[in-house]
Amino acid sequence: MQFDILTLFPEMFQGPLSTGLFQRADSRGLVAVNLHNIRDHTHDRHHTVDDYPYGGGAGMVLKPEPIFETVESLQSEMPSEQAATLPIILLTPQGRLFSQPIAEELSRHPQIVLICGRYEGIDERVREYLVTDEISIGDYVLGGGELAAMVIIDAVIRLLPGVLGSEKSSLDESHATGLLEYPQYTRPPVYRDWPVPEVLLSGNHAHIAEWRREQAIIRTLKRRPEMLERARLDNKEERLIERLKQPR
């Protein structure tokens, strides 16, 4: 999968792109990230990327030309049918809220473009005539879209086949099932006075699976009850929730 990132600060990506999961995916040839400095697509002596807002007001606004030109130069190098369906995503607090289903949706594309906004804003014509999607990583304002792009890349690449050690290890985790993940334990079986739940040592895989599912439901009900409305639960699980909701 290929990510093309438009940014004014390509150096911000060096750390995350040279460590951990990304490095592993990169060395296996499963991902490629191309960093495009928006400033390289300016034509004036000062390499101007921003300007004062029409109508006045605080801060500067990113100019449309360098952003359009960077994306168009990228598209000119790919087959036209691929260019026509290329997701061009603007990172902005005004976008749709990033989530596991959106990470899954993005992971099905062979290539995506991420545009990192900066300053007070971006010329609205970029939104209207260039981007195909706008994504926010949360209801807070960052200094720019770079960290948001890194969050998205991280969440997406771990879904690509062959990136995680075990193919199954992303299937059970929080949000993938619509529930928060069940509690995990490792050795020692008793640490200080705190034992590992006995069922996990039983070797009975059916009991373990049932316990984990129940724990995931209990945890989700406690911490993120709104997620249960969309989770797929069977009758027995619905009854468990009703019971857990009863005042003790």
Which residues sit at the interface with ligand ADE, rule CB under 6 A?
Answer: 91-93, 117, 136-138, 140-142, 144-145, 148
Tell me which residue of 183, 94, 185, 85 sits closest to 134, measured CA to CA: 94
CB of 182 to ligand ADE, least distance (A): 30
Pick from 4, 152, 161, 153: nearest CA to 78:
4
Nearer CB in complex with ligand ADE: 152/200: 152
Q: How far is the CB of 95 from ligand ADE (least distance, A)?
A: 6
**Which of 49, 91 has the CB closer to ligand ADE?**
91
The vertex-92 CA angle with 129 and 1, nearest 5°, equals 80
Shortest Cβ contact with ligand ADE: which residue?
A: 148
Q: Which is nearer to ligand ADE, 53 or 93 (CB)?
A: 93
Which of 17, 152 has the CB closer to ligand ADE? 152
Tell me whether residue 96 or residue 236 sits nearer to ligand ADE (CB atom): 96
Shortest distance, position 137 Cβ to ligand ADE, whole Å: 4
| Shortest distance, position 147 Cβ to ligand ADE, whole Å | 8
Residue type, 226: E
| SS3 state at 4 | strand
Instruction: Tokens for 1, please give them.
Output: 């999968």
Asked if residues 144 and 114 have their Cβ atoms less than 8 Å apart, the reply is: no
**How many C-beta neighbours within 10 Å does residue 214 have?**
15
Nearer of residues 150 and 179 to ligand ADE, judged by Cβ: 150
Q: How far is the CB of 150 from ligand ADE (least distance, A)?
A: 11
DSSP 3-state of 115 = strand
CB of 140 to ligand ADE, least distance (A): 6
Whichever of 67 and 148 has its CB closer to ligand ADE, that residue is: 148
For 148-173, give one letter per residue: b (16+ CB within 10 A) or e. Answer: bbbbbbebbbbbbeebbeeeeebeeb
Smallest separation (angstroms) from ligand ADE to the CB of 97: 9
Beta strands in the chain (DSSP E): 2-7, 32-37, 50-51, 61-62, 88-97, 111-116, 121-122, 133-136, 190-191, 194-195
